[in-house]
Amino acid sequence: MAASGNLDRIYIGGDWVAPDSSDRIEVISPVTEEPIASVPAGSRADVDAAVAAARRAFDEGPWPHLELSERMACLARLKDIFERRAEEIAQTITAEMGSPITASRTQQVPIPIMMMEAQLDLAPQLAWRELRQSKTGNGLVLRKPKGVVVAIVPWNAPLMVTLAKIGPALLAGCTVILKPAPESPLSAYLLAEMIDEAGFPPGSFNMLCADRAESEYLALHPGVNKVSFTGSTVAGQTLARGCGDLLRPITLELGGKSAAVLLEDADVGAAIEALRVGSFRNSGQICSLKTRIVVSKRQEAEALERLEALVASMPVGDPLDEATQIGPMVSQRQRDRVAGYIDTGLKDGARLICGGPGRPEGLNRGWFVRPTILAGVEPGATVAQEEIFGPVLSVITYDTEDEAIAIANNSQYGLNGSVFTADTARGVAIAERIKSGVVEVNGAGCGFHCPIGGVKASGIGREHGREGFDPYVEIRTIGLPKEYADSLA
């Protein structure tokens, strides 16, 4: 298993150190339901040690005081190592959380690399020191690193989410403590190995796994300056309350229940094919996936026929098989959760087009579910309102465009969405009316030079783009005598 030489230790202060506690977190294969590894479960003493190392590296170490070009060189070396170890990373993520190997090779590994490339491109464009002069005064506006950052990441896209946070934080001059999900710690161990090899100064990056109580202790630790969390809305609310009491800034990227709106002029075939990635990637375990399919009553029959054919074309099975497009759910709990929602949808009157609550044929072991299409779903139904986090789509019909927009906005969430149409300008106009952090027209992604994030219960703050650096800097201003300001102009 990757990183096996360090799985008895945690990464603190630039060293692999023995944990304070003998408690372990088992990593269970979602395919065999058997343990494949275990890692230390960090104790409060381990959290204290990680915070002390990050605090010391920020307050006394070189990292915040290096030139931006020097910090960029470290991240560029990490990117190169990441590329060199790409297959090892892909195999590890597939083993620990069940991502189909083809998706791991084409998404779980290349996307963090693309993120680092974007971050390295954007960092020099930011106004780290900016002179502002006006008739009311003269000032030097500085963007300074916020301090010690805690990054708490989920299991579904472990290194994608991690690099979205730690790349900007490190480039800004912050020091970081990464707390990976207990389901997917092995890829975090690989990342720590790569960061060590890249030559980041001791304490600039630290990593430990921990259970929920110790994770909350870490986030609310007095030595921490900033928290960035991706996960469930409920967990995010808990951390936000604690950070609010401390007046500690927190970035939250939370749940979603995104809608794909097919306008009546849309190419239904092309739109449904776009949902292969837009709704089903990573076996439906991505928060930004479009899981409410909003179609006109005139289009419903064709859309359902094409959705059924789409699902039939996506093999379910062993994630190490390159042909597999739908792998297992990450855990028994997640499998039961998804199956429970399918049952709920049917009990509430939805019509089953394909799939259902049982296991896929021939898969009697592993945490597999049947990819499911539900039709006749009411906009307020449980399966249309709650995040399922699995390969389950609800098809909802509309009569008018205004009704379609109202359906898309009828959600506590606002993370992502799509509009499909033959008229791009019209699609943009509709997208502007959808209350979501990101809306894609005809499946076009915005890329990593643009900010992403949620509105409503989908989160607070933005990641990626120039805006992705904002959570990790403090803006300070120095008032200047006019003569001195003129000399800087």
Please tell me the total number of residues recorded for the chain in this structure: 489
Crossing angle of the two packed helices 158-172 and 110-122, in degrees rounded to 10: 20
Whether residue 414 contacts residue 458, with contact meaning beta carbons closer than 8 Å, is answered with yes
Q: What residues are paired with 479 via a beta bridge?
A: 139
Assign residue 461 a region (left: φ > 0; alpha: ψ between -120 and 50; beta: otherwise): left
d(CA 409, CA 259): 9
How open is the CA angle 131-132-136, to the nearest 5 degrees?
A: 145
**Pairing state of beta strands 10-12 and 15-17?**
antiparallel
Encoded amino acid at 327, one letter:
G
Q: Which of 77, 59, 35, 88 is nearest to 175 (CA)?
A: 59
Nearest to residue 191, comparing CAs of 202, 180, 183, 182? Answer: 180
184 contacts 97 by C-beta, under 8 angstroms? yes
The residue among 98, 191, 113, 101 whose CA lies nearest residue 389 is 98
Q: Per-residue b/e over 210-235, b at no fewer than 16 CB within 10 Å?
A: beeebbbbbbbbebbbbbbbbbebeb
| Structure token digits, residue 446 | 């915005």
Q: Please give the helix or strand (H or E) that residue 356 lies within, else none.
A: strand 351-356
Name the phi and psi angles at 126, rounded to 5.
-80, 150
φ, ψ (nearest 5 deg) of residue 144: -110, 150
* Pair type for strands 205-207 and 258-262: unpaired
Distance of CA 375 to the CA centre of its chain: 29
Spatial distance between the Cα atoms of 399 and 68, rounded to a whole number of angstroms: 54
Which among 74, 96, 287, 440 is annotated as catalytic? 287
Active-site annotation holder among 183, 193, 253, 463: 253
Output phi, psi for 431, to 5 deg.
-60, -35
Whether 287 is a known active-site residue: answer: yes
Q: How many CA atoms lie within 13 A of 409 on its CB side?
A: 12
User: b/e for 92-113, b at 16 or more Cβ within 10 A?
Assistant: bbbbbbbbbbbbbbebbbbbbb
**Is position 440 annotated as part of the catalytic site?**
no
Task: Give the DSSP per-residue string, 471-486.
Answer: GGEEEEEEE--HHHHH
What distance in Å separates the CA atoms of residue 283 and residue 281, rounded to the nearest whole number? 5
Active site residues: 253, 287
